[in-house]
């Protein structure tokens, strides 16, 4: 009976293989997370560029669609925890990194929406205002509202963080290269006007997330077919 209860070497290897295959369906390895973030950030960046360049508004803050990536991420992660009994600790860590990233991006959006208006109120209470002065005196001075200069450069910098961590942990070169390129785009954004920062951010989202997400998704679906 003792011999019958013991697993053979082949059975042990088969068991380990099956456990590994079950653990390979994580939120990040399926490509869903990358595709979500790549889509919403690219759309938000490009729409913002056109709004600023051609001076129009779509009637709401386009960056609220970031919730379209955060909420599904939370739901999918919770579902994975319930359904996937064999889950690698690194997946929990990556889920935490991406969740914190999403909250940070949402927080920066709140910051740039609220802080300029609040600062304007403080300035008025102190009895002064910001003014645009033309050095060549070609135009009269104009009062202006406070603003957050080139804040999108910070967004681009933050975009690289979860991408680089995921690329290192998963040993996934498209994300590693995407993160490194994004750091270069961040440096470039420090020397451009804010409108072009949004275009650079859209490029960063495509390179960081959307393209790697497509690659991950294809690999995952091919793997699923092979395991059927």
The total of structural domains in the chain comes to: 1
Is 65 among the domain residues? yes
What is the b/e burial string over 139-152, where b = at least 16 CB atoms within 10 angstroms of the residue's CB?
eeeeeeebeeeeeb
**68 in a structural domain:** yes
State the pLDDT confidence band at 3, using cuts at 50, 70 and 90.
Answer: very low
Query: Is residue 179 one of the residues assigned to a domain?
Result: yes
pLDDT per position as a tens digit, 45-85: 999 999 999 999 999 888 888 777 777 777 766 666 665 55
Give the model confidence (pLDDT) of 175-203 as tens digits: 999 999 999 999 999 999 989 999 999 99
88, with CB counted inside 10 A (0-12, 13-18, 19+), is middle
Cβ neighbors of 140 (< 8 A, separation 6 or more) are none
Q: Which residues contact 66 (CB under 8 A, 6 or more apart)?
A: 40, 41, 44, 102, 105, 106, 109
Residue 209: its pLDDT value, please? Answer: 92
Provide the pLDDT for residue 181: 97
Identify the domain containing residue 220 by its residue range.
17-227
In a domain, 33, yes or no: yes
pLDDT at 19: 39
Give the phi and the psi of residue 200 in degrees, each rounded to 5: -65, -35
pLDDT at 14: 45
Task: Say what percent of the chain tops pLDDT 70.
Answer: 80
Going by C-beta distance under 8 Å and a sequence separation of 6 or more, which residues neighbour residue 161?
Answer: 97, 101, 179
With respect to residue 122, please indicate whether it lies within any of the assigned structural domains: yes
Q: What is the mean pLDDT of residues 106-131?
A: 88
3 inside domain: no
Q: Is there a domain that residue 10 lies in?
A: no
Take residue 71 and report the two structure tokens written for it: 């909420």
Between 137 and 198, the more confident residue is 198
Q: What is the pTM for the complete model shown? A: 0.78
Alpha-carbon distance of 119 to 189, in angstroms, equals 25
75-79, 142-146, 160-164, range with the lowest pLDDT:
75-79
Q: Is the dihedral of CA 209, 210, 215, 216 positive or negative?
A: positive
- Is 9 inside a domain boundary? no
Give the per-residue pLDDT at 28: 59
């Amino acid at each position: 009976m003792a011999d019958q209860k013991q697993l053979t070497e082949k059975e042990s290897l088969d068991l380990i293989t099956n456990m590994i295959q079950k653990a390979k369906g994580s939120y990040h390895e399926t490509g869903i997370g990358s595709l979500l973030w790549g889509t919403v950030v690219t759309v938000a960046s490009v729409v913002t560029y056109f709004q600023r360049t051609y001076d129009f508004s779509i009637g709401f803050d386009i960056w609220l669609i970031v919730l379209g990536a955060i909420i599904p991420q939370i739901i999918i992660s919770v579902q994975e925890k319930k359904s996937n009994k064999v889950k690698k600790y690194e997946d929990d860590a990556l889920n935490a990194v991406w969740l914190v990233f999403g909250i940070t991006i949402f927080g920066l959006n709140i910051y740039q929406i609220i802080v300029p208006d609040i600062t304007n109120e403080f300035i008025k209470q102190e009895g002064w205002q910001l003014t645009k002065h033309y050095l060549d005196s070609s135009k009269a001075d104009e009062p202006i509202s406070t603003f957050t200069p080139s804040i999108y450069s910070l967004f681009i910098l933050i975009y690289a963080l979860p991408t680089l961590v995921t690329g290192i942990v998963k040993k996934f070169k498209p994300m590693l290269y995407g993160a490194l390129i994004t750091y270069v785009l961040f440096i470039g954004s420090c020397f451009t006007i804010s409108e072009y920062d949004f275009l650079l951010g859209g490029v960063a989202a495509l390179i960081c997330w959307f393209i790697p997400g497509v690659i991950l998704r294809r690999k995952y679906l091919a793997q699923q077919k092979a395991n059927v």
